Chain A
Amino acid sequence: MTSLLSLHGVSKTFDSGTQAIAALDLEVRTGEFLSLVGPSGCGKSTALRIIAGLIAPTMGNVAWPSGRPEIGFVFQEPTLMPWRNALDNARLPLELKGIARADAEARSRQALARVGLGEFGHAYPRELSGGMKMRVSIARAIAAHPKLLLMDEPFAALDELTRQSLNDDLLKLAREDGITVIFVTHSVYESAYLSDRVVVMTPRPGRVTADIAIAQPADRSVAYRLTPQFTDAAGRISAALGDAMSRAA
């Protein structure tokens, strides 16, 4: 697989003096599903924001060997505009890019249909459940056809069943569109289920301590969560996470 982006010695110290990440080296390959796992305050979110170009690193740089692709971002909260209905929320990226309204509406309607909300275009965020709001947020991210999707603990606030169904839908969308995903999570099981590769980070300042490749079956389902293959992957991530924590202590 070719390299999509790489972080070289990226450090970030905030104005408050907090050092979020120190000398982070990370390569992300085109088409992979990469999870960043680590305890709170290990700078996972900061790393995502640096990759998105929303904040500048204090030191180091982000390299894009074949240019910076279209990027989508999904936050922990659905982060919708309450005064816009689902369709107009999903349309936002296209609108900001200056795409003609009819075209933008068609594309965002299609994006809503793909996350299973085809019937809910006119619903306002307050009329939707937490899981549905997160689906609108994902529809908004994929409406602009990103090649890289950055997700910052997107399903952390959802119940287990909703989370599993969103996990499956996300895998399907990413595979269909050939999207590279960088997924930040606290959950060992979620990362074991979703990822081709899991990178474990130490607490503040964040550094990579383990890089775990997972050979995933093409077709994952509820039954997969019960296989030795899955539990083995979860076990390796868990061990690496425990190791990272003990180093910090």
Chain B
Amino acid sequence: MKRWLTYSVPVALGIAVLAFWEWAVTHWQVPRFVLPAPSAIAQSFVDDRAQLAAATWTTFRIVIEAFVLALVTGVALAILFAQSRIVELALYPYAVILQVTPIIAIAPLIVIWVGYEHIDRALLILAWIVAFFPILANTTLGLRSADRNLIDLFRLYGASRWQILWKLQLPGALPYLLGAMKISGGLALIGAVVAEFAAGTGTATGLGWTITEAGNRLHIETMFAALAILSVLGVAIFFLLSALEWALLRHWHESAVSRQE
């Protein structure tokens, strides 16, 4: 009963809102370049399908690359931090600076550095910068949260640093990492789109560029179509990572247990 409601209630609300929107736009004769009807947006999906598909693929690829890069570098640096306090003291402030400086302000600089002919790389770097920090911060915290007594037990049995890391600290940090991945997945998408806005038009042809271009030409229905795709992408990333979290933690972690019982 409850599970059924979880899906049916939001879907019903969505359909009701779309129906009202369609009716309202016609009834009050809202101009198409202010708010297009849902049916016009649907038409745009058909008419602009080639452009939208190419833009989606470009954005999707950059998001995935940036996310994987953030995952690998974030975890690697977190492991380094957990092994050496000196490395952490030296690098952590700079990681924070990179994080707190608004990405939109760094973007023009990165674009100049990598050159307009390699705008893809600039987008990748910018998306990576925003996705990287949650992974680093949470994994570092997770690695440091290992039970002191378990560490003592490992030492008692002559475990190496590597064994403590691999068998104790990393599994213990997994819930922290998976939580961070859900945040970073969304941030990578935001980073990729924001970077495209900042880079301006040119060789970037992702969904951010599609929105800018369509806006310039008052193709508001195409803007909505691109926005809808971005939302679906964001939701899909979130659900995929939630499913991964569930699959990896369901046997043992409290967060998964409460959902099970």
Binding site for B on A (CB under 8 A): 49, 52-54, 71, 73, 75, 77, 79, 81-84, 92-93, 95-97, 124-126, 144
CA–CA, A183 and B254, complex, Å: 32
**B76 touches A (CB below 8 Å):** no
22 sampled A-B residue pairs with Cβ under 8 A: A49-B152, A54-B152, A54-B155, A75-B153, A77-B149, A79-B147, A81-B150, A81-B168, A82-B253, A83-B251, A84-B252, A92-B157, A92-B167, A95-B167, A96-B157, A96-B163, A97-B157, A124-B252, A126-B252, A126-B254, A126-B257, A144-B157
Question: Interface code B158-172, partner A: CB below 8 Å = 1, 0 otherwise?
Answer: 110001000110011
Within the complex, the shortest CB–CB distance from A4 to chain B, in Å, comes to 17
**Chain B residues near A96 (CB, 8 Å)?**
154, 157-159, 163, 167
Question: Does B251 lie within 8 Å of A79, measured CB to CB?
Answer: no
**B174 touches A (CB below 8 Å):** yes
**Chain A residues near B153 (CB, 8 Å)?**
73, 75, 79, 92
CA–CA, A125 and B254, complex, Å: 11
CA–CA, A92 and B157, complex, Å: 9
**Chain A residues near B147 (CB, 8 Å)?**
79
A71 contact from B156, B163, B257, Cβ within 8 A: B156
**Chain B residues near A84 (CB, 8 Å)?**
252
CA–CA, A52 and B154, complex, Å: 12
Question: Does B174 lie within 8 Å of A93, measured CB to CB?
Answer: no
Q: Which of B124-178 contact A (CB under 8 A)?
A: 147, 149-150, 152-159, 163, 167-168, 171-172, 174
CA–CA, A84 and B147, complex, Å: 15
Within the complex, the shortest CB–CB distance from B205 to chain A, in Å, comes to 44
**Chain A residues near B257 (CB, 8 Å)?**
126
CA–CA, A83 and B163, complex, Å: 16
A93 contact from B157, B171, B253, B254, Cβ within 8 A: B157
- Do A125 and B252 form a contact, CB below 8 Å, given A83-B171, A83-B174, A97-B158? yes
CA–CA, A81 and B151, complex, Å: 11
7 tightest Cβ-Cβ pairs between the two chains A and B:
A96-B157, A82-B252, A79-B149, A83-B252, A75-B149, A93-B157, A96-B159
CA–CA, A67 and B254, complex, Å: 43
Q: Which of B191-246 contact A (CB under 8 A)?
A: none
**Chain A residues near B171 (CB, 8 Å)?**
81, 83
CA–CA, A75 and B148, complex, Å: 11
**Chain A residues near B156 (CB, 8 Å)?**
52-54, 71, 73
**Chain B residues near A97 (CB, 8 Å)?**
157-158
Within the complex, the shortest CB–CB distance from A232 to chain B, in Å, comes to 36
Within the complex, the shortest CB–CB distance from B198 to chain A, in Å, comes to 42
Closest to B152 in A: A54
Within the complex, the shortest CB–CB distance from B214 to chain A, in Å, comes to 48
CA–CA, A53 and B152, complex, Å: 10
With most chain A CB atoms within 10 A of its CB, the pick from B157, B174, B254 is B157
Within the complex, the shortest CB–CB distance from B169 to chain A, in Å, comes to 11
Within the complex, the shortest CB–CB distance from A241 to chain B, in Å, comes to 26
With most chain B CB atoms within 10 A of its CB, the pick from A53, A71, A81, A97 is A81
Within the complex, the shortest CB–CB distance from A128 to chain B, in Å, comes to 12
**Chain A residues near B152 (CB, 8 Å)?**
49, 52, 54, 73
